[in-house]
Structure formats: C-alpha cells, structure tokens
Chains A and B, each alone.
Chain A
Amino acid sequence: MASVNTVAQSDSGQRNFIARLWYDKEARGVILQVLTVSILFAFIAYITSNVIANLALVGKTFSFDFLAEPAHYDINQSLIEYSSKSTHLRAGLVGMLNTLAVAVVGIIVATVLGFVLGVLRLSPNWLISKMVYCYVEFVRNTPVLLQILLVHGIVVHSLPSPRGAQDGGNLAETIFFTNRGVFAPQPLPQDGFGFVIGAFVLAIVGCFIFKRWAKKRQDETGKYLPVFLISLGAIIGLPLLVYLLMGAPLDWNHPELKGFNFKGGFVVRPEFLALTLALSIYTAAFIAEIVRAGIEAINKGQWEASLAVGMSRSRTLSEVIIPQAMRVIVPPLTSQYLNLTKNSSLAIAIGYMDIVATIGGITLMQTGKEMETMIIVIGFYLSVSLTISMFMNWYNKRIKLVER
C-alpha cells in the first residue's frame, strides 16, 4: 500500500516535497538514520560538556600521567616483578595478568569438569545421574559471589596455619597446604635443562606428525591405533628420558617454615585458589548442561550405528558423538568462557588483586582518577571479551559441518 501511495502522490504532486520524501522508503530511511546519528552526537556532546564542566568544578584534569607515578601499595600475588615502588602502570599490568591467570586456569578446569559432569549426567547409572543433577541445579541457582565467599571461607578456615601444616596438611613434606596459601617446591633449571625442553617440543611436534600418519593409515587400511595414549606416553616419556640422561639438571627451591610463615618455593595464594575453584565449580555446572544438551541433540541413530560397527561406548562417545555435538556446544560454551572471565572481577570481594582491585580499586582511591581508571578497566575487559569470542568463532568455523 505504501508504494501505491508513493506512486499516486508523486503523480498528482499535491503533497509537498517533505511529505513525498517521508513516503519514499529509501529517503525515509536516510532521514531517520541522519536523525538518529545527530541525536546520538548531541547526546555525546552534552555528556562531554557536562564532564568538562564537572572536572573543572572539582579541579581535576583528564590525563593518564598518573600511570607513571609510583603506586605505593603492595600486591601479595604477582606473576611479574612488582614492589610498592613500582608504577601504577606496573600495578595495572600485574592486575591484568592476575585476571588472565584466573580466567585461563578457570576455563581449563571448568571445561574438563563440565564435560565430565555433562557426560555423567547422561550416564545409565541412575544414582550418578541424579547426583550430577543435584549439583548442577544447586550451583546454577545460587549467586556466584556467594559461592566465592563460601569457598574462600572454607579454604581459609579448614586449612591449617603454616605451623600446623608442618605436622599435618602436607604431601610428603614437600607441598604444604596452609591458610596462607599452598607452598610447593619451585623448580630452578640448571645447565642442560634446555635439552629437556627441546625434547618436550620435539615430542609434541612428533605427535602431530604421528597423528596425521595414523589417521591416513586408518583411512587406508582401517587399522586403528590408540593415538592418544601413544602421544601421551611420548610427550611425558621423551622429556623424562632426556632429563634422566642429562643427570637430572633441575634444582628445587623448597619452602621452609621461618617464623610464622613459609619462605621460598612456589606459592599459590588462598585467594587465587578459592576464586579459581569457585568460578570453575560455578561455570562447570553451566558447561555440564550445555554438554548434555549437545549430546542429546545428536541423533540416536549415530549411537546405534557406531555400536553396530563394534565400537565401544566410550569410543563412540569420544569419536562419533562429541565431535558432532561440538557444533551445538561451542557457541554457548563461548559465552560461558566470557562469563567466567567477567565473573573473575568478583575477586575484589575476597581481596584477590585483579585488574578491578588494582587499577579500579586502590589506584582509583589514591589518585582520584575515576574516568581514566574506569576507561582502562572497561577497555581491558572489552578487548579480552573480543579476543575470546574471535578465537571461539574461528574454532566454530573450523569444526563446522562441511556441506557438499
């Protein structure tokens, strides 16, 4: 009807120019877009002018110079060199790395746990399936912040003090579980350790070539090799062999109890432990549901066909069902990874020094630079989110069904 109107009106020429434009679909689109964009710009200009006026009123300037100033605060866990004399920039970097550490470890643990739980949820064993169901429902329906606080409380309260860990709470007197953190010996590579790393890299490369060869062989002759087990053996065995041949070129820096706490060694703080554990537990419940839905989405015929050709249940699952289910699983899995990364910002509730706690917390309080610090924090999260979704999109494309 709209197009009929347009023709009628332009023929009679009774309407004025603007009305004619309005009834033309394309012209109207252009007008509306110009209007939207100008309203947006007006809004941005209004906010910017407000910001400038407000900053002038309290005598603040907009600059990132504070990043070069010394931070004057301590961070108890840092992956890079840091002291209270370091700059705010360095503190921010430490925070970013801490966030990424939680995100990476959490994603790995949550994925493994989630897949195992998702498969167990579909187990023919009624008891196991119901237990996983209870776990999933309870975890999914309570706030993640609450879980973080609860896990942190349990970790801090149930582990012994460093002195107590000397008597109990240790693994063979080398790894100590205390409420100040988990202390483990730190490896110190000596001369010749490079060969071990070389052997490790060689083993990984070799496994890739072996996997291709095995696949080709299977395609041609139908003979199946347990690729995973052989690869695992090679990746662990080869470096171990070289390590022993070189005469064990590795020293350990053992943690020792000095005064009230352990000194030396490699330490994982209870905050990191609690946060990673809680986020993994929380996200694993969601991943379990996604995996379950993905497996259930696969046609029953695939199971039957695979069992009919004589594959075992576990091989069917790992080589027929899950590769197909991955196509259903990956998109929602991506958003779970993003959620885990974003939820790691709750670190601030238990005092783990992530980016929100360093730049967005103490630095903000010290310098009073709300704008600048928030821009850094938000920019960081946006770029991490974009990177993860780009990677998962690439992966999703790679495993997509090739249609002929």
Chain B
Amino acid sequence: MSDTSTTQRYPIGQIPDMPPPLLESGIFYWVRKNLLSSWTNVALTILAVWFLWLVLPPMYEWMFSNAVFEAADRAGCQALGDGACWAFIQERFTIFIYGFYPEPERWRPILAFGLLFVALGPLLFDGFPYRGKAMLFSMAYPFVAAWLLLGGGGLTQVTTDQFGGMLLNVIVGVTGITFSLPIGIVLALGRASNMPAVRIICVTFIEFIRGVPLITLLFVASTMLSYFLPPGTSFDLLMRVLIMVTLFSSGYMAEVIRGGLQAIPRGQYEAADSMGLKYWQSMRLIVLPQALKISIPGIVNTFIGLFKDTTLVIIIGLLDILGMGRASLADSKWAGLSSEVYISIAVFFFLFCFAMSRYSLYLEGKLETGHKN
C-alpha cells in the first residue's frame, strides 16, 4: 500500500516524512508506554491511582479547602472549618523564625542572613564579580555575623538565650559547617599522612566521632564539658553546643574530603613532588584545590545532614524552631494542633534542604562533564 502511494506521487528522493502512527507518538503513546506497557504495569497503575485517590483529596481538603487561616484561637478555628488551623502558625510565625530575639533588633539577623549569601557567592560561583576581593569578605563574614547577632561595639547587646527559632538552626548549622571545614581538611590530610602516629590519632578521632550519636555529644556539652576546663571557667551553653557540633561535623567532613583526596590521580601528587614543591605547597597549590572542588557536593550533603540535625538541640533545652513549635503546643488556647506545627516545620526544612540538594546535584553534573574527557 505504501509502495503505491509513495512511488507514484513523489519523485524518488523527495518523499516527505510521514507523521508517526497515532499510537506511536503523542499522549497515547506516552500513556501506553509509561503506564500500560504490561499486565503488571496496568495493575501497578491502578494501584497507584487508587492510592492517590485515597490520599490526595482528603489531604487537599484538610490543608486548603477546609483549612482556617484566620482565627483568634482553636475554638474559633473549629467553628470555621474542620481542616487545618493555620491561624495558629500565622500567629506564631515570627517566634518560629526569631525566637525571643528582641523585636526592634530583628533587622540584624536579617542583615546577617542576607550577607551570608553575599559571602557565599564568591565561594560557590566562578563568575562572581571581583571574586578575589569578595573572598576577603567571605573570610571576615563569621566575625561580622557574630558582631551583628551578639551586638556590642555600638549595637545593643543580645544574650544567646534570646536566640531561638529558625535563627538558632541557621546559626548552629552555618557555624558548624564553616569551622568544621578547616578542621576536616587537617584531619583528612592527617588520615592520608604517612606518619603512623599522626594517622592513628586522626583515624581514632574520626571513627570516635562517627561512632557515637550527636545526642551523646550534646549531652557531654551540656553536662560534662565544664569539667574539662580549668576550675572556675564556664561559658555559654550555645557556645558549648557550637563547639560540639563543629567537632561532630568535622569528623564527617574529614571523610568527605578524604574521598576527594583519594579521587585525585596519583600522578598529581607525583608531579607536585617532582616539581620540588614541599608538602604544604603541593597540598595548597596542587592537591587541595582539586580535591575540594570534587568534594563540594559531599560538603553540601554534609551540610544538609547537619542542618537537619540542628533540631537535636531541643533535647538539651535550646529552643530552635522545633523547640518553639513544641513549646507553643503547650498553649491552652491552641491545644492539640501538633500536626499543623510539625507539618509546617517539615515544609520549612524541606524547602531549605531540597534547594541545597538540587544545588549539589547541579554541581555534580557540572563537575562530571569537567572531569570526563
């Protein structure tokens, strides 16, 4: 049939492309291939649709169509609809973000948070304008942020027990990752060292940190750390937590960077040696720039893990976003709204962590093409 239609109407060599058959393209093809390709596939599709039908409509009703966004208390919520009571979250929103940080000073954490991205820019993106000079600001950032948050030197002092909510999670997470990076690099280099004593010390430290839960380290911070210091010295609980979190994440960081170091071909080390570079020179100029570049996705993943783990501080009594959420559950005006609180905090974390994991995937893709040739 096709013979007659093609050979008779068109000269040879000028036969136009035929459109694909209806069942081999377009939406029908897609559905057939992706949802109905075999009997098991059809069964799975039916099962999935049934499950979604069971879950999604009630969830939508609870979260949106029957939800109450403005009410004075729980009873007011219940009077307006039987869905979620988001009015509660709306009322507590600022406390979830800033904790008890004094209200007139709240521009300071906002500024510090904004500057964080300015400081991160030159580190994360190659094409940042004036990268060299901007890098200096990145180095100074931790101190600038500490000054902004704590005050002193012209700003009103804010004590650390007023820190709370999301602010606390971000402080603990960012501090932990910033200071654990250099410690992690030293530990990773120590683990790869050919001096047995140094290697053993580093391996012991890393394995110790990775072998115990963060909770026990936080307990050590809250109950025991002051025993290790000279008698009479005592410092802030937040400071102790920051030290422990930094040590904790440096153990994980060391392993990430070790992976990067191992991925560098032997020839790079040998080339650096044969150039006559000393150990620190070859590390600083040849090995680490490459190793760190490959480790960035791993570092971002470590940060995601650490950021999620910052919620554990509630166990030793600090009020981060989860702690604020739980504390506000005790309010008799709004009793029994735990699902609303937990779900909104979950969404909060999801947005942060998902964005970061996308970024790390993007980087992996970018680095992949750079290294395979």
* A→B interface (CB under 8 Å): 1-2, 29, 32-34, 36-37, 40, 47, 50-51, 53-55, 57, 123-128, 131, 137-138, 140-147, 149-150, 153-154, 157, 338, 342-343, 345-346, 348-349, 356, 360, 364, 370-371, 374, 377-378, 381-382, 385-386
Contacts and interface: CB of A to CB of B under 8 A. Distances in A.
Given A55-B227, A150-B339, A153-B338, A126 B44 contact: no
Contacts of B338: 149-150, 153, 157
Given A124-B41, A126-B35, A141-B353, A40 B211 contact: no
Given A143-B308, A381-B211, 11 more contacts: A2-B278, A29-B194, A36-B197, A50-B229, A53-B231, A125-B37, A146-B311, A150-B338, A338-B211, A360-B219, A377-B216
Nearest to B55: A131
A125 B45 contact: yes
A50 B230 contact: yes
Contacts of A157: 338
Given A125-B44, A143-B322, A146-B342, A29 B357 contact: no
B105 interface: no
Nearest to A145: B311
B16 interface: no
Top 7 A-B pairs, shortest CB-CB distance: A1-B276, A126-B34, A141-B353, A33-B197, A385-B211, A342-B213, A345-B213
B196 interface: yes
Interface string B323-363: 00010000000000011001101100110011001000000
Interface of B: 33-35, 37, 41, 44-45, 48-49, 51-52, 194-198, 201, 208, 210-216, 219-220, 223-224, 226-231, 276, 278, 304, 308-309, 311-312, 314-315, 322, 326, 338-339, 342-343, 345-346, 349-350, 353-354, 357
A141 B357 CA distance: 8
Contacts of B195: 29, 32-33, 36
Contacts of A348: 215, 315
A206 B358 CA distance: 51
Of A33, A51, A127, the most chain B CB neighbours within 10 A belong to A127
A153 B339 contact: yes
A364 B315 contact: no
B216 A141 contact: no
Given A125-B48, A127-B49, A349 B315 contact: yes
A262 B10 CA distance: 87
B176 to A, nearest CB: 15
A378 B212 contact: yes
Contacts of A1: 276
Contacts of A364: 223
